[in-house]
Structure 1
Amino acid sequence: MEFSPTALVLLGLFLAAWTIGAAFLALRARMLSGKVDSARRSTRRFSRILDECPAVPLLVRPDGRIEAPERLAAWLGLDSVPGFLSELDGQDTGLSAGDLKRLSDAVRRTHRTGTPFQLVFTPRYSRRNLAVRGQLADAAIASGNAALLWWFDFSESHEELASLRAETARARGDFAALVGLIEAAPMPMWFRRSDARLQLVNSAYVEAVGARDAEQVVAEQIELIEPIEGISAAQIARQAQETRQSIERIVSATLHNQRRTMRVSDLPLGHEGVAGYAVDIEDMEEQNRIFRAFREAQVSLLDQLSVGVAQFDSQRQLTFANQPFQRLFELPAARHSDVLEFDRFLDMARDKGRLPETRDFPQWRREMGTWFTSGAPQEDAWTLNDGTHLRIIAQPMPDGGLVMIAEDQSEQLALSATRDTLLRTRTATFDSLFESLAVFAPDGRLQLWNRRFAAIWGLPEGLMDDHPRIEALLEQIGSQLVRPAHGQAIGEAVRAATLDRRQRGGQVRLTDGRTLEFAGVPLPDGNGLLTILDVTDSRKAEDALRERNAALEEADAVKTRFLANMSYEFRTPLTSISGFAELLQSGMAGELSDQAKEYVEAILTSVERLSGQIESVLDLTQSEAGLLPIATEDCELLPFLTELVHHYADALEEKHIALDLRADRSAGTIKVDKRRLNRAMSNLLNNALAATPENGRILVSMKRQKGAVRIVVSDNGCGMRPGELARALDGYQLDADGQPEKRRTGLGLPLARQLIEAHGGRLEMISEPGAGTTATITLPVT
């Protein structure tokens, strides 16, 4: 077949078009293949991204068929993804029946109404927490009202959320409890903002400042602590916040209308603000003051004790030692500044010889160190080299310390030895006394007795050893009394001495003729002493003395009558002789011759002298008998002495004796018997004239002293020896042969002494042979 050119052209054009189409199709196919590969890669990439996505999709069709990746089966604990939604309950795995029902109901509601939902499930025997969000699927994904469920695994988030919720609940509870605690706290508490303004206060703060409520405190910024030295509490809080350090101070504040000591603390809370609280320490400060006062009083008291006391702390260091302890162990004065440990204290005491000698001192020191850990007080006796005996008591303290007490018993031991000696001496003294002694207790029991007590009553020794009561003794001695009833008087004396603390005595007579005198004497220790003395001989002597005394009284009465008669019998004849002689001298009987006149004058002189002697004898006799009458009157001493001295002017001039009178009116006036004082002074002057040689010197001085007047009469005569002076001051005495004793001065000095003593004064005489005699009269001034 031949083709025409036109057909060939058409065929060529067809072939060319077919080639071009084929090339176009090939190119298009290549382009589509590239897109498919790209789509396949995108699909694999999106599939991988979906696998790595934290959410897993689940497509649920209206008929219950489901489509989901295998990862959802792993989350639910299934081996593979089932075909239907009802198969998600795998009995032992998957969702529980209740969870599956809730999920089915939600999906069914979404299919019908399109309502989205959110659920949370925990598969069986799994700790996963799965959240489900369901909604209608887009028509591009699935048609026919399919539901698309996204499953999220939020196990970690759920645990963290649960933990946060628990912590939040716990924090909320703690905060509520803290707020309640702060509100109920008895101490004022507050919180300040970062600008140091009050933001929160508790009820104690409100009550302390006397406000109505917390709102008023915050609104008015009522401060509890007043400014101190211009610095307010807010400034202190700001300072604590800036330094980020708590500030604690002790100040005084008004609390409940009372000034109290408070410990205030400001605690910075970062940038939030500053918290503060105030603790009332007034009671604690008061206790501290009381404790300090107690410690000071205790130290002062311990220093006053005679017992040494030292305290060691738990570190075995000396914290206190009173003065007696320091003296006993010769502690240095610098102990208050230097730390003195217990071992060092023992070393120092040993160096000073204030510890007992021991063979192994280190071992002994270690034994002393166990005092700190012993559970009971320890007691030891130390004998030092100087003879000091110390009683040591170590009292461990609960805090690990030790109180050491050192008592110097040297004096007590010496007193004990002295007491033993005194007891032995008392026993020996009791046994050596002539009296019978017995000591009875307040209950009447015999305590002590001497040998004569049993002997005087004739009691057996065995009876005394049993310490019988007074009643048993009275039964034994009752048969020996003339009147047995008198034994009760002895018992009453014992009871009066022991119980009534009164002394009582009496006498009893025995059947053998003896007379016993007894007395009950209370003793300082509460016992009573019964002393018995055999007064038989004394009673006989007393009877004899009583008879003699009656005779002496009768003789004294006779003497008194004799002196009264002699005073009359002596003076009456002398008065008659003196009267008749004066009549003869006056010429009443006629003119007398010269010789007769001399006789009459001699008679008058002798009468005057005899009258003076009789007066002296009578005065001396009456003075010795206590019958001398003294009639006192006011006497000015200076005129009295001047007149007395002038009376001796002729006698002084005759022997050429100088008399020096030294007196002034300051002597004043005293009450004396002028006549008898004149006689005493005259006797002293007569004695001085008789003892002073020619051209001699007599001194009479008078001086008033405190409460007395002192008169001195002295001469420069021959003087007397002590024996002669003693005899001169004695009265009229007889020698052994019955003759009157030879005297130098007669009765003048004894009479002068008697007269001066009758005035309540005294006469003192000092004499030395060749130097003279000095007589001193001391008269009281009333």
Structure 2
Amino acid sequence: MEFSPLALVVIGLLLAAWTVAAAVMIVRASAKTKRTKALQISLKRMQRMLDQAPAIPMLVRVDGRIEAPDRLARWLGLDAMPNYLSELAADDDDAGQHGLSEKQVNSLTEKIRLTQKSAAPFQMAITPPGSGRSLALQGALADPQVSPGGAALVWVFDFSESEDELSRLRQAAAQAEGDFAALVGLIEAAPVPMWFRGRNMRLQLVNQAYVDAVGAEDAAAVIAEQIELLEAEAGASPAQQALAVFEGEAAAERTMTATLHGARRTLRVSNQPLGKEGVTGYAIDIEEQQQVLREFRAFREAQREMLDQLSVGVAQFDDSEQLTFANRPFRRLFELPDGAVRNNTPFERFLSEAREKGLTPEVRDFPEWRREHAAWFDSPDMQEEAWPLPGGTHLRIVAQPMPDGGIVLVAEDRTESLALSATRDTLLRTRTATLDSLFEALAIFAPDGSVQLWNRSFAGTWGLSGEFLDTHPSADALLEAIGKNLTRPGDAKQIGAVVRAATLDRKEKEGRVQLSDGRSLRFAGVPLPDGNGLLTVLDITDSQKAERALRERAVALEEADAVKARFLANMSYEFRTPLTTIGGYAELLKSGAAGELNEGAGEYIDSILTAAARLTEQVENVLDLSQSEAGLLPITKEQTDLLGFLTKLVRERETAIIKAQLGLDLKGKRGRMVDLDPRQMSRAVGNLIDNAINGTPADGHITIEILKSDPASEWGTSFVISDNGAGMNADELERALDGGRSAEDSDTEKRTGLGIPLARQLIAAHGGLLEISSQEGVGTTAIIHLP
């Protein structure tokens, strides 16, 4: 086909136009590509900025769809962001998901809907369950350019660290408020006046004690009127004195007097600066301390005046080893100058000056001797020494340590007493020679039972060696040695009883024993004026016929005792059976077994029961006393804690003690085990306690005390029952020991009955001893000794 030139031109123009259009399109496409790349770079930059921003946006559309980065899902504890707002609440089945709670989602949904409808912004704070994050949500209506159609844009902030800091600050503030309230309460409740002055030194705060001290209505009145508790001193008012403390920035304390509650009291006042805020102060009432101090000074002066009246020298050295006091005998004995006490002479200097005057013992190394005596101040124990001085003077020195670190030095001149001792020794030797020339065998026993003195005939009479007596044996050892030479070794107890009666009971007593060699001896104990006891012994072998007659009588008495024992065995049944029958039938009548009783009959039955019980007790006492005297009373001993045993007896009589309005003290330690029959010993000790209760008037006092064990005593255990009742004279005590009347009252006649004799027999059946002493108007004391 051939084209015309015009067609070719047209075609060329079309191709050129198409080429131009293609070029323009290519240029435009290239520009758009560049803009797209720039926009992508900008979007990436913005996305990176959003990812690192402290807030995360969440777009919520009207239909509930949400758009948010996965970073928000991590904040909420989710694996990925859900599509809808309602899906922010995790399912209960998914234990690994957290999300928000149903309540939080509903609250957020309601706020977002309100924002979408009214364009009102909102704020809220939430903490996802199971998460430690605290999230702040700020919502507003989204810009149409961001999302048209009324979507809501919610910015989510993580303020966990700020919340922790705020929580810590809240706790600190709450604690500070509590501490301040407690401090204010403490100051208000303080028993001493306290106050606070501001920078102008005016009172700004006072406690209730201050208000009470000045007699004001309340703290506001004190502050308004500026009522001062303290008075001006040395021309300076309390405010001026506080100003000096404030300016000097140093605490000040002083003692002064002031009117407190209408009375003059001594106060210790303290002012403390509080930086640049002001000055606080308080006043402590030390009037009682001052009174005690004055009383102590008066006591010390009285004590020193009393020490001046003693014949024994007394000196006091303080903890710095200086002389603070010396009475007149001490100054005279050691020839102290007038200024020795005033100048506080040191202890070592006192020893040196005493040595120069010849008033210390002669020693080879005096400096060492002085250092040893200076060590008395460091010793907690009392020191005692004898100082033989030149010229024949003998001093007894005692150094008693004091709690304050000093010592009290006591010096006693024993020269005269030693001379008297020498004279006494001469008299003793003369007495010994006199005793040796007597025909009778004699021995003198000390109150502790040891042999002090004897003549030559004593050893030969009893068949003892002189070496044995030279050891000054105790009474037990002597009786053991004598018992070996007796026909019946048990008769040695008679000698011990005689010695005990002469030394302790201060009574004359005598007895007889038969020696294994056929001799018969009569002995007697005589109390001596010096507290010792004299044992005299005579050989009465020539009176054996009389002894045989007495022995025959003893056999007859033993037969009579046997008859009495059989009688008691029979009467024990004959007495108890009728009493049991009477008591049983009386109790049946009282219980209504024979019909209802009227009030008068009931009183008669009660009287019968009371009388039967009393008669039963008396019969038991009579039978036990008779059996005890006949040696037929059964004793079953067992290991018993003495304190627990006595406590039980006291508890059983608690009602009677309270009814009698008496006080009772039980003293002793647990662990003191004794062998005794609980039943029989309960009756013995119970009778003694009952007598103490009956014999003590109202508001009286009874004491039961377990005595400390004495290794030198022949008894293993001893305890005392004493009261401060009416007491008994000698005749009444003797009748009480025999079961007679013990005391008489204007309204009631009180009798011990067989209580004391039975108690003595029961204690003796245990191998013990009952000692009773009484003084009319003072009280009665019973001492029970057990082996």
Q: TM-score range by the shorter chain?
A: 0.3 to 0.5
TM-score, scaled to structure 2: 0.45
Q: TM-score normalised to the size of structure 1?
A: 0.46
Q: Rg: which structure is higher?
A: 1
